[in-house]
Structure 1
Amino acid sequence: MSAVPMIPRNGLIWLLIAQVLVILPHLGHLPLWIIGLWLVCAIWRVQIFRMHARYPRSWLKALMMIGVGCGVYLSRGSLIGLDAGVVLLIAAFILKLVEMRSRRDAWVLIFLGFFAVTTSYLFYDSLPAGLYSLLPVTALLAAMIGLQQSAAGTHPWPTLRLAGSLLMQAIPLMLVLFVLFPRLGPLWSLPQPSDRGVTGLSDSMSPGDIAELSRSSQLAFRASFEGPIPERDRLYWRAVTFERFDGRRWSQSLASQVPQAPDWTPRGTPVQYSVVMQPSGRPWLYALDVPQVEASDVRLMTDFHLQRTRPIDQALLYQATSWPESLREPGAPPATLERALQLPAQGNPRSRAWAETLRREYPNPANLVQALLRHFNQQPYRYTLKPSSVGADIVDGFLFDTLNGFCIHYAGAMTFMLRAAGIPARVVAGYQGGEINPSGNYLSVRQLDAHAWVEYWRADQGWIAIDPTFQVAPERIEQGLEEALSDEDELLDDSPLALRRYRDIGWLNQLRFGWDNLNYGWQRWVLGYQGERQLDVLKELFGKLDARKLGLLTVLTGALLMAVLAVIVLKPWRRERDPLVRLFRRFERLLARQGIERQASEGARDFAERAAALLPASAESIREFARLYELARYADRPSGKGELQASFARLRRQLPWRSGARWEPKAVPDER
């Protein structure tokens, strides 16, 4: 039985480097024992190569697999799911290292590495993550090249240069396939990683939830407008509507999640914009009222919020058109109004009594709303991220005792008061404002821009949006949260190194804007190049497309690109520049057609003598060419090149075009 070929040293070096580069981006969501596992397996593998250790026996490999399974279960609570699956994949990628005996095993390890690189995009899909992924891919290519070298190969750097060259050659073809190859829907769906970061608004909310979000600088979405960016006080980005109140929390009603378009009439000037939304794990889309989105999987729900058929678990690009001045449900269905009047049977007695007093004093709903807004404006209410404790009756405690709170306190209290006074009302949660990036002229909306406001219903006028927070802290709406709460030191607590904390330093702020603009371009033009967006771009470039035309275009473009790459790699223009050497190569090819091939160790004179012996009729011309070549090449005769060309022309006229042809020697006149 033949011995199994040993893994070359160069290939093993690059396999170990590739494992480090593949595992690094996963460290943020891997248990710490994975690091120890890799160190043990890497040292063991090196010792095996040095013949200081043996391969693990079958019982030991089984024990290691069971140990890894137990570790994953203890650290993730399950062996099923995306988080546990990625940990199992990385663990298998590591364990295969010590079990690897042959080149075939090494190939399996490399393919596992490529798959592990792709799984990192489930957690990080930013521009730095995309650029970093080129490093492990290059290392894996270097390992593939190293496997083809001898066991004595000890030169990793030439291998790296070749791997980098192969990667650079593959990039143009990758770009062609990226642009032309149709996007296919997933065969299955994966749950969003649980540790992907702040996800934003949820389907229910208590007063403290938005305050927690507002301490985060995590990006929620970016928006670009066709035309000037609207004023800040018009930038109310609806996400979800809360209609149910249980005395502590506001939440969605089941009826509001029905994909049935409500009655509304467009008014005013429409606003057109595109949004690149970050993964939220929720199905809601962010938009200004009232939005229309041309996407087959997006619906306008009965409460005017946009909802997708599946959660947003990766960056999503969509275009929307909104009519902020629209007339919304002037004749709302009784069921809708009933939901907008729902209150718990008990609780907050002082607020209920005050609402009844206001109802008697202001029978007109518009006057009652204005009275409440004046109350918030004239009384010593304070806008803060650190509200005082309010006790069991949160509305009573806020309105009559603490008089301080965040936007959800004001929106929730006013909605409660309007409902208690018999006016249909509901809480709207979303984001308000955003930061304009002058480098790209777009808005960046972050979790700290999370906001809640109120909309109430009036007959023949429909739903009307009001913001009680504006009466207490107008700077929150006109300038943003950071300016409104500049005296509080808990903002951006989750990002101590974020450049946003140092926006008062000019050059750092410019650096922040430039980097954000670069990431926005990556998300908009690369991550957002999916489905309908791809079809729109291709139609703009090539007109109407069908499957046959697109397939033909892909094949032709790929073939043209491969031809260009072949020309670049083979470099046919790199012919011999020395005219004497070029002429001698023609002499060699001329004799090769007569069946006389020059040997690698054969000089010009020896080759000519052998050819003269085999072709006696042209012997004199062959010897003359060799003599003139030596004189022109080594004696540097000024007329040598011309004499050599004339000698070659005479010889070419004498010899037939191919070996075995019948010919008669012609008399050649003496041209000397």
Structure 2
Amino acid sequence: MNLNLPIPRTSLIWLLIAQALVTVPFLAHLPFWMIGLWLGCTAWRVQVLRMRADYPGTLLKSVLFVATIAGVFLSRGSLVGLDAGASLLLGAFILKTLEMRTRRDALVLIFLGFFCVSVGYLFEDGLLWGLYSLLPVSMLLAGLIGLQQSLPTSKASGSLKLAAKLMLQAVPLMLLLFLFFPRLEPLWSLPQPSNKGITGLSDNMAPGDMADISRSAALAFRASFDGPMPAQNQLYWRALTLDQFDGRRWSQSGKAMRIEIPDWQKRGDERSYSIVMEPSGRPWLPALDIAETTLADVRQMNDFRLQRRHPVDQTLLYSVHSWPQAIRETQLSEATQRQNLQLPARGNPQSREWAADLNRRYPRVDALVDAMLAHFSDEPYHYTLKPPILGADSIDDFLFNSRSGFCAHYAGAMTFVLRAAGVPARVVAGYQGGELNPEGHYVSVRQFDAHAWVEYWRPGIGWRSVDPTAAVAPLRVEQGLEQALAANEEFLADSPFSALRYRNLPWLNSFRMSWDNLNYGWQRWVLGYQGRQQVQVLSRWFAGFDGVVFFGGAAAVIALLALWLFKPWQRENDPQLRVFKSFERLLARHGLHRREAEAAQAFSQRAALRFPAQAELILAFSAEFEALRYAGQRRSLMPLRRHLRQLRRRFPWRFSTIKTMEER
């Protein structure tokens, strides 16, 4: 293919369609002005195709290039990072349209398009994107095939059909590579886009923070259990603990961030399950108490949370083993006790006075805790996503004035009172509950399941968990957030189009569950098929097989694939025609193709004119073929094959670069 030739019309049409299909999924991640750039460049190139405009000059292209870089910098604040990098890549992909004159330019656009499709998986790796990405890939392949066609009458549908056929033929090889090729860690990394990791748990908590998170229907993770599914009120997913209070906000202390092996003992039944976690931009891995995992880069911190060395920037699959009845730290160091008794020197006098009264009336820690839970249950406290604004003494204002709040209000207030009463305590932040999918037998935990509860410590017993929200709104723990809200509060009011709001419609809910089950299977068995899981699957498949059997089976599979791809049974059975097909292929390699329905004699005469140095041999081959084919005599194929061998020797080794008649 001569790369300096103009782009065929068929190929150009497919390339413009492919560019649209590649760009559309990125619109949510691009600066708004880049949409106008894309539409403008496309419209200009279409006008050039219609010969109503000329290509832009060097000055205009330079201005657009510099303006695009400046626009990305101003929109993203940097030229480094995934958002900025993707914007620059799409900008180059769009601007290339304006200077796409020759087939060489078209090849650059095609390769950029393939790379853009791959970059799309950094933003979205769900099943829907996986299916959609087949469309732009097919169009790019159709454009690539169109570049090889020189006839102006070539049909656009033919390029698309051939592209689809090539993709189908690539499926067996793709499956082999997926199953057997080892997964490698990326050789590069980029900061995650700014729109990831915003909705979710933070490393600090003020009373209204959890209420804000609970307005989001974004998926946090999915979990499937090896055995029976635990009850809803037992699904407390620990993410992190907050043991520092500044009078308004709970946060992690420096001690909580240290890597220390906690003291705990396994007790009771073990729960085994696997979690597929969505990107969060945070290093914490949600898990039931008390958890262990086999991931190499995950450690159990001194507050029993699981933490990864690096933030979770892409979908992560990990297996967990938990012991809910484990004994946790029967002895605490003085430094740890001081930290979990820490309170500001001043503030919230009513709460401190109540704590002192509880301490006098209930010298046993468990009795004091039960008294607080009874107080929350008996007094007119309310569970709400719209808590009133609290004053400077937020704990006092909540406990004795507003008495309305979300889980963070109750957990923070109870932890404060316990500390004021001399009981080491801390806030645990994570998620509670989850929606059971009966088709896949797993639970989906979303951001509106975010929850906070309390851990308090008893000498010789260790840490124990208690949830004051369950005393105020037991439906929140037993059935979920939607059932716990008051009649005047609408579930997911900020997301009117969320399908979760319409779970009362059986047909819609059934469709949502089925689609979610497909997505979960995609994430677990496709995206999660790497590293240890890949080794485990292959070990099960080939357990008991030796190397000879394995490689013999692999060779047999490859042979079957080769038979399916090359289809030797469909090759020409006529020996005379097989030799003539070889003659056709020889000339095609040197730039001359036989036209549709062109007679052998006419093709040979055109070839003799095209290659004067080999004209004598070409005509001799043609005469021998006609005599053999049409004389009606039984003659040997040897002379015909001899002419073909002589002709091969007379052609140069390098393929000819002379233009064909069609290209002229």
Short-chain TM bin: 0.7 to 0.9
The answer to whether the aligner puts 1:533 opposite 2:533 as a matched pair is yes
**CA distance in 1 between partners of 2:578 and 2:118 (Å):** 52
1:350 aligns with 2:353: no
Greater Cα offset, 38-47 or 48-57: 48-57
Q: What SS does the aligned partner of 1:207 have?
A: coil
The answer to whether structure 1 residue 608 and structure 2 residue 609 are counterparts is no
Question: For residues 492 and 97 of structure 1, do their structure 2 counterparts lie closer, same or farther at Cα, with a shift above 3 Å needed?
Answer: same
Task: Compute the TM-score of the two structures, normalised by the length of structure 2.
Answer: 0.85
Alignment-derived partner of residue 633 in structure 1: none
Q: Given the alignment of the two structures, is residue 277 of structure 1 paired with residue 277 of structure 2, yes or no?
A: yes
Give the Cα separation in 1 of the matches to 2:336 and 2:153.
76
- C-alpha distance in 2 between matches for 1:92 and 1:567: 42
Corresponding residue of 1:627: none
Determine the structure 2 residue equivalent to 1:194: 194
Separation in structure 2 between the aligned mates of residue 574 and residue 49 of structure 1, nearest angstrom: 41
1:436 equivalent in alignment to 2:459? no
Give deviations 1:359-416, integer Å, cap 9, x for gaps: 1222222221111111111111111111122211110000000111111100000000
Give the aligned partner of residue 397 of structure 2.
397
Q: CA deviation at 1:34?
A: 1.5
8 Å contact kept, 1:7–1:151: no
Following superposition, the deviation at residue 110 of structure 1 comes to 0.7
Give the aligned partner of residue 413 of structure 1: 413
Matches within 5 A, 1:633-672: none
In 2: Cα distance, 1:572 partner to 1:312 partner? 50
CA shift in 2, pair 1:155/1:600, >3 Å: farther
Give the CA deviation at 1:554.
8.9
**1:14 alignment partner AA:** W
**Deviation by residue 1:403-430 (Cα, 9 ceiling, x = unmatched):** 1111110000000000011100000011
Q: 1:386 aligned to 2:386?
A: yes
570, 573, 576: which is aligned to 2:569?
Answer: 573
Q: Structure 1 CA distance, aligned partners of 2:551 and 2:176?
A: 8
- 2:232 equivalent in structure 1: 232
Contact 1:176 1:554 in 2 (8 A): no
Conservation of the 8 A alpha-carbon contact between 1:198 and 1:218: no
Alignment of 1:320-359 (within 5 A): 320-359=320-359
Tell me by how many angstroms 1:486 deviates. Answer: 5.3
Helix, strand or coil: the match of 2:426? strand
Counterpart of 1:175, as a letter, is L
Partner of 1:256: 256
Aligned pair in 2 of structure 1 residues 284, 97: CA closer, same or farther (>3 Å)?
A: same
- Residue 206 (structure 1) aligns with: 206
- Over aligned residues, Cα RMSD in angstroms? 2.9
Aligned partner of 1:524 in structure 2 is 524
Cα displacement string for residues 620-651 of structure 1 (whole angstroms, at most 9, x for unaligned residues): xxxxxxxxxxxxxxxxxxxxxxxxxxxxxxxx
Checking the alignment, whether the CA contact within 8 Å between 2:10 and 2:146 is kept in structure 1 is yes
Alpha carbons of structure 1 residues 490 and 587: separation in structure 2 relative to 1, 3 Å? closer
1:318 to 2:318 alignment: yes
- Whether the 8 Å contact between 1:172 and 1:561 is mirrored in structure 2 is no
Question: What displacement does 1:151 show?
Answer: 6.0
Q: CA deviation digits over 1:303-355, x for unaligned, max 9? A: 00000010001111111110000100001222211111111111111111111
Task: Specify every segment of 5 or more residues in structure 2 that has no aligned partner in the other structure, as ranges.
Answer: 582-616, 643-664
User: C-alpha displacement at 1:188, in angstroms?
Assistant: 2.1
2 CA distance for matches of 1:591 and 1:45? 44
Aligned partners of 1:371 and 1:288: how far apart in 2?
27
**Cα distance change of structure 1 residues 586 and 32 upon mapping to structure 2, 3 Å threshold:** closer
Give the match's secondary structure for 2:632: helix
- Contact kept, 8 Å, 1:199 with 1:281, in 2: the verdict is no
3-state SS of 2:287 partner? coil
Query: Quick one: distance in 2 between partners of 1:312 and 1:586?
Result: 63
Q: CA deviation at 1:544?
A: 9.2
Quote the Cα distance in structure 2 between the aligned partners of 1:33 and 1:154: 37
Closer, same or farther: CA 454–207 of 1 in aligned 2, 3 Å: same
Counterparts of residues 41-190 of structure 1 (less than 5 Å): 41-150=41-150, 152-190=152-190
Q: 2 CA distance for matches of 1:14 and 1:588?
A: 36
1:267 and 1:327 in contact (8 A); partners too: yes
Q: Tell me what 1:662 maps to.
A: none
Tell me the equivalent position of 1:506. 506
Partner of residue 495, structure 1: 495
* CA displacement at 1:448 relative to structure 2: 1.1
* Secondary structure in structure 2 of the residue aligned to 1:477: helix
| C-alpha deviation, 1:556, in angstroms | 7.7
Structure of higher CA gyration radius:
1
1:54 to partner: Cα distance: 3.1
- SS of match in other structure, 1:276: strand
1:531-610 aligned within 5 A: 531-543=531-543, 557=554, 563-574=559-570, 585=574, 602=626, 606-609=630-633
Residue 599 of structure 1, CA deviation: 6.4
Deviates more, 1:49-58 or 1:455-464: 49-58
Instruction: Give the equivalent residue in structure 1 for 2:611.
Output: none
Letter in 2 for 1:573: W
Q: Distance in 2 between matches of 1:372 and 1:589?
A: 93
Deviation string for 1:80-139 (max 9, x for gaps)? Answer: 221111111101001111112321121111111111111111111110011001111111
Residue 55 of structure 1: CA displacement? 2.8
- Aligned to 2:87, what secondary structure does the other structure show? helix
How far is 1:504 from its partner? Answer: 1.1
1:242/1:560 CA distance change after superposition, 3 Å = same
CA contact (8 A) 2:3 2:102 kept: no
Per the alignment, residue 668 of structure 1 pairs with none
Residue 604 (structure 1) shift = 8.2
What SS does structure 2 have at the residue aligned with 1:460?
Answer: coil
Deviations 1:552-572 (A, max 9, x none): 979984x65554344224333
Identity of aligned residues (%): 57
Looking at structure 2, the residues matched to 197 and 242 of structure 1 have their Cα atoms a distance apart, in angstroms, of: 19
Q: Do 2:4 and 2:104's aligned partners in 1 also have CA atoms closer than 8 Å? A: no
Letter of the 2:295 partner, please give it.
Answer: A
Label 1:191 to 1:590 Cα distance change in 2 as closer, same or farther (>3 A).
Answer: closer
Pair 605,367 (structure 1): closer, same or farther in 2 beyond 3 Å? closer
CA displacement at 1:261 relative to structure 2? 1.7
In 1: Cα distance, 2:47 partner to 2:552 partner? 49
1:198 to partner: Cα distance: 5.2
CA contact (8 A) 1:223 1:443 kept: yes
Give the count of matched residue pairs: 603
Alignment-mate amino acid for residue 216 of structure 2 = S
Residues 400 and 545 (structure 1), Cα distance of their counterparts in 2 relative to 1, 3 Å cut = farther
- Whole-angstrom CA distance in 1 between matches of 2:334 and 2:552: 59
Counterpart of 2:38 in structure 1: which amino acid? Answer: W
Mark the CA change 1:252 to 1:110 in structure 2 (over 3 Å): closer, same or farther.
same
- Is the CA contact (8 Å cut-off) linking 2:224 and 2:442 kept in structure 1? yes
1:497–1:18 distance in 2 versus 1, CA, 3 Å:
same
Q: CA–CA distance in 2 between the matches of 1:416 and 1:605?
A: 102
1:33 — aligned with what?
33
What one-letter code is carried by the residue in structure 1 that aligns with 2:258? V
How much has 1:269 moved relative to structure 2?
0.5
Deviation at 1:32, TM superposition (A): 2.1
